[in-house]
Amino acid sequence: MKPDGFNPSPPDAGVGDDIYALAERLFPICRSITGNGVRQTLDILSGHVGLERREVATGTQVFDWTVPREWNIRAARITGPDGRVIVDFADCNLHVVSYSAPFNGTLSLQELKRHIHTLPEQPELIPYRTSYYAETWGFCMAHNRLAELPDGLYRVEIDSEFKDGSLTYGEYLHRGLTDREFLLSAHICHPSLANDNCSGLALLATIARHLRSRRTRYSYRFLFAPGTIGSLAWLAHNEAGTGRIDHGLVVSCAGDAGGPTYKRSRRGDAYIDRAMAHVLSRESKATLLDFWPYGYDERQFCSPGFNLPVGMFQRSAFGTFPQYHTSADDLQFIRPEHLASSFRILMDVIDIVEGDWTPLNLFPKGEPQLGRRGLYAALGGETSTGLSSIALLWVLNLADGNHSLLSMAERSGLSFTEIAAAASLLAEHGLLADAAFATA
């Protein structure tokens, strides 16, 4: 379907600051796979774009899994032999292992250590740990602080609770002209980790807000759900509708200085894989990775029973940067310019998905005479339209009904933007028809 002219996304001055400001607001909240932290986060995101929120009751079966009890935590601390507070959840929510059971007791240092997680090789950082499906408790702290603790009795208080409640996720559907969908998904279950994934949440909410005013062919579904169990709950609830998903991206770690990185869908040659490869071919440090079954929610979307065309976008690939899953993944680690770059990349992909069509050359025998239409200039120069002649010639040459604009960009080595602009211009001059209608 030929779109009404080619209208690439407008420039985005200041968008990096906007995304950063949103990530900053999300950062302090203690999120987990269930509980009020997720709800608070969805509240803030709803201030940007109206989310539909869904609560899935504890005990609900989702495929092979069961929604766990809801977990909330109010406070937690360790007090030392001298009465001084050693570790306090109020200082940093990474200090408590996520889904820690309530506890109140006094332990020897030796006993306590069995519940303490540190990073001996990054001794100043606090690790991020979870224990979702095995009931236990634990604290995380800097290895150097642990090493300084004297023998003696330590008082441990964890004011958390498990209850029959629900798992929460939010979604926003931008309705396009068709019900074919582009799924954009970010996990919402990590606490104070800026890149992983306040950055992804803020980026997707900002893209959603930008799309609101835009007339699109595709419908865009934004999903903010807890990792694994949240995406499974969404899939279970929307199983019949997954056939509408033509493209999808899982987004996380979108704000650091590395990458960009794209991990292909399980299919490996889905349209989204080609479109991302094309956009990233313009980035000097981009990395393309083949699918492997570890990572974020692409694991679920790409499980064999769904095999959806969903890839993953990141800047630095998860697990490859030293700040990953530590207290160093903080608000200094992400920068507005990197968030803006991620925004630009995803909007470029959306522009491809929106702007692609398959033209048919109406003068396919020989070249049409571009000169008398004011469309021809010396190669390397520009026409009066600002377009290089070579883009026009490529479009005319490949407009046999078998090449979409993206195919043309891939074969020519020109950017999708140049190809799309050339096709628009040629269509305006009556040289191209839309193959989708011309074949009737």
5 lines the binding site for a second copy (CB under 8 A): no
306 lines the binding site for a second copy (CB under 8 A): yes
Select the residue interacting with a second copy from 111, 164, 179, 239 (CB under 8 A): 239
400 lines the binding site for a second copy (CB under 8 A): yes
Q: Scanning residues 313 to 332, which ones bind a second copy (CB under 8 A)?
A: 319
412 lines the binding site for a second copy (CB under 8 A): yes
Question: Are 141 and 126 a contacting pair, CB within 8 Å?
Answer: yes
Question: Annotated binding residue at 143?
Answer: no
| Closest CB 373 distance from a second copy, rounded Å | 10
| Closest CB 173 distance from a second copy, rounded Å | 22
Specify the residue, 386 or 413, whose C-beta has the smaller distance to a second copy.
413
Q: Scanning residues 121 to 140, which ones bind a second copy (CB under 8 A)?
A: 133-134
For the chain, the three-class secondary structure string (H helix, E strand, C coil) is: CCCCCCCCCCCCCCHHHHHHHHHHHHCCCCCCCCCHHHHHHHHHHHCCCCCEEEEEECCCEECCEECCCEEEEEEEEEECCCCCEEEECCCCHHHECECCCCEEEEEEHHHHHCCEECCCCCCCCCECCECCCCCCCCEECCHHHHHCCCCCEEEEEEEEEEECCEEEEEEEEECCCCCCEEEEEEECCCCCCHHHHHHHHHHHHHHHHHHHCCCCCCEEEEEEECCCHHHHHHHHHCHHHHHHEEEEEEECCCCCCCCCEEECCCCCCCHHHHHHHHHHCCCCCCEEECCCCCCCCHHHHCCCCCCCCEEEEECCCCCCCCCCCECCCCCCCCCHHHHHHHHHHHHHHHHHHHHCCCEEECCCCCCCCCHHHCCCCCCCCCCCCCCCHHHHHHHHHHCECCCCHHHHHHHHCCCHHHHHHHHHHHHHCCCEEEHHHHCC
430 lines the binding site for a second copy (CB under 8 A): no
Q: What are the backbone angles phi and psi of residue 206, rounded to the nearest 5°?
A: -70, -40
Specify the residue, 13 or 378, whose C-beta has the smaller distance to a second copy.
378
398 lines the binding site for a second copy (CB under 8 A): yes
Select the residue interacting with a second copy from 84, 294, 381, 440 (CB under 8 A): 294
Specify the residue, 58 or 397, whose C-beta has the smaller distance to a second copy.
397
Binding residues for a second copy, rule CB under 8 A, total: 46
Select the residue interacting with a second copy from 65, 137, 162, 271 (CB under 8 A): 65
Question: Annotated binding residue at 174?
Answer: no
Select the residue interacting with a second copy from 292, 322, 428, 439 (CB under 8 A): 292
Of 13-21, 27-35, 210-218, 295-303, which segment contacts a second copy by CB under 8 A? 295-303
Q: Scanning residues 323 to 382, which ones bind a second copy (CB under 8 A)?
A: 361, 363-369, 371-372, 379
Select the residue interacting with a second copy from 263, 266, 315, 338 (CB under 8 A): 266
Select the residue interacting with a second copy from 122, 303, 385, 415 (CB under 8 A): 303
| Closest CB 172 distance from a second copy, rounded Å | 23
Of 100-108, 114-122, 138-146, 299-307, which segment contacts a second copy by CB under 8 A? 299-307
Specify the residue, 83 or 304, whose C-beta has the smaller distance to a second copy.
304
| Closest CB 371 distance from a second copy, rounded Å | 5
Question: Annotated binding residue at 187?
Answer: no
Of 100-108, 180-188, 234-242, 243-251, which segment contacts a second copy by CB under 8 A? 234-242
428 lines the binding site for a second copy (CB under 8 A): no
| Closest CB 144 distance from a second copy, rounded Å | 23
Select the residue interacting with a second copy from 396, 405, 420, 423 (CB under 8 A): 396
The beta-carbon contacts of 232-240 under 8 Å, at least 24 apart in sequence, are 232/62, 232/63, 232/65, 232/300, 233/56, 233/60, 233/62, 233/67, 233/167, 233/169, 234/169, 234/171, 235/62, 235/63, 235/300, 235/301, 235/306, 236/62, 236/63, 237/54, 237/56
Select the residue interacting with a second copy from 19, 186, 193, 232 (CB under 8 A): 232
257 lines the binding site for a second copy (CB under 8 A): no
Whole-angstrom Cα distance, residue 314 to residue 308?
19
Residues found near a second copy in the complex (CB under 8 A):
62-65, 133-134, 228, 231-232, 235-236, 239, 266, 292-294, 299-300, 302-307, 319, 361, 363-369, 371-372, 379, 389-390, 393-394, 396-400, 412
**Binding site for Zn(2+): which residues?**
190, 196, 325
